[in-house]
Structure 1
Amino acid sequence: MTMAYLAQPEQQQKLEWLDGGTFSVLLDEDATEGKLTVGRFDVARGEAPPFHLHTREDEVFLLLKGSALVWSGEEEHELREGGIVYLPRNVPHSYRITSDRADLLMIATPGGIEGMFRHAGRDLRTPRPEGFEIPRALLEEAAELYGGIVLGPPR
């Protein structure tokens, strides 16, 4: 049997994301023949993406460390360390980190959503522009390019 793909931590792309957090691209659509994307967030208290939905992929979040509130439609749930949530495509959702830090694993299928993070985020191998932030217009543009729809502000 041959291993189809292997990347050590130093080979994985790391992007600056919302509120100074990071998103690491662990597996992208190229590595998985389009089947899935696996990413990992390292984020601080209060990090929250806008309320949104995905038209192309289903998502799974596994909270490795920390705590968060998760919204699925109008339902609010607490997600504790070790908790997992499945968010089918076309279901509006968001989350807000409630612990000091959180380590969150994301799996999306099919692959391709990493393009959104690459479009709006900043590769940590490049110099950081002073005052870097991801404006809402860029986030909405990135979401739209990759089948996402921003429905409202963070919760």
Structure 2
Amino acid sequence: MSIPYLAQSDQHQQLEWLDGGTLSLLLDGAATGGSLTVGRFAVSKGEAPPFHLHTREDEVFLLLQGSALVWAGEERMELAEGGIVYLPRNIPHGYRITSATADLLMICTPAGIEGMFRQAGRDRAAPRPDGFEIDPAVMAQAADAYGQIIVGPPR
């Protein structure tokens, strides 16, 4: 059974992610009964995750502000503000931010991927260790634990 969930922006967990970007976890499996995860990325030019695929969830990206190159399978597209991408599970994909900054909404169903971000990222509520960076080995372990397969370097 699902229950309503209401939260203000200051109640969202914020994680430091790749290249110093921020992922705000708006909804997770605990809030949605496992139905979906919703996150919002605030990132800078050049931010790019490894080329990867999801084995457990389908993913939607909505570019709220900025621009990005997006790769989905064999397709490549320049995504502009308001552009949307649907990525069914098992489709290799990646992106690279091409604008100075970008605001990106991510929706994944079912929930669970938030565990990977929590394991590899850093909760911004905790003090930041000097020189903190996402460790590629920790990212690979987290990806594996949550059904993500890294198939290549960032594009």
1:107 corresponding residue in structure 2? 107
1:63 paired with 2:73, answer: no
Describe the SS at the equivalent of 2:127: coil
Q: CA deviation at 1:36?
A: 0.2
Tell me the distance in 2 between the aligned counterparts of 1:74 and 1:97. Answer: 19
1:43 corresponding residue in structure 2? 43
Structure 2: 5+ residue stretches without partners:
none
1:144 corresponding residue in structure 2? 144
2:118 corresponding residue in structure 1? 118
Structure 1: 5+ residue stretches without partners:
none
Q: CA deviation at 1:53?
A: 0.3
Q: CA deviation at 1:75?
A: 1.7
**One-letter identity of the residue aligned with 1:40:** R
Q: CA deviation at 1:109?
A: 0.2
Tell me the distance in 2 between the aligned counterparts of 1:47 and 1:53. Answer: 17
Tell me the distance in 1 between the aligned counterparts of 2:73 and 2:37. Answer: 23
The root-mean-square deviation of aligned C-alpha atoms, in Å, is 1.1
Describe the SS at the equivalent of 1:127: coil
TM-score by length of 1: 0.97
Q: CA deviation at 1:73?
A: 1.4
Alignment of 1:87-102 (within 5 A): 87-102=87-102
Q: CA deviation at 1:74?
A: 2.5
Identity in percent: 73
**One-letter identity of the residue aligned with 1:114:** E
1:54 corresponding residue in structure 2? 54
How many aligned residue pairs are there? 154
**Which deviations, in whole Å up to 9, do the C-alpha atoms of 1:30-63 show, x marking residues without a partner?**
1000000000000000000000000000000000
Alignment of 1:24-43 (within 5 A): 24-43=24-43
Tell me the distance in 1 between the aligned counterparts of 2:7 and 2:132. Answer: 28
Describe the SS at the equivalent of 1:104: strand
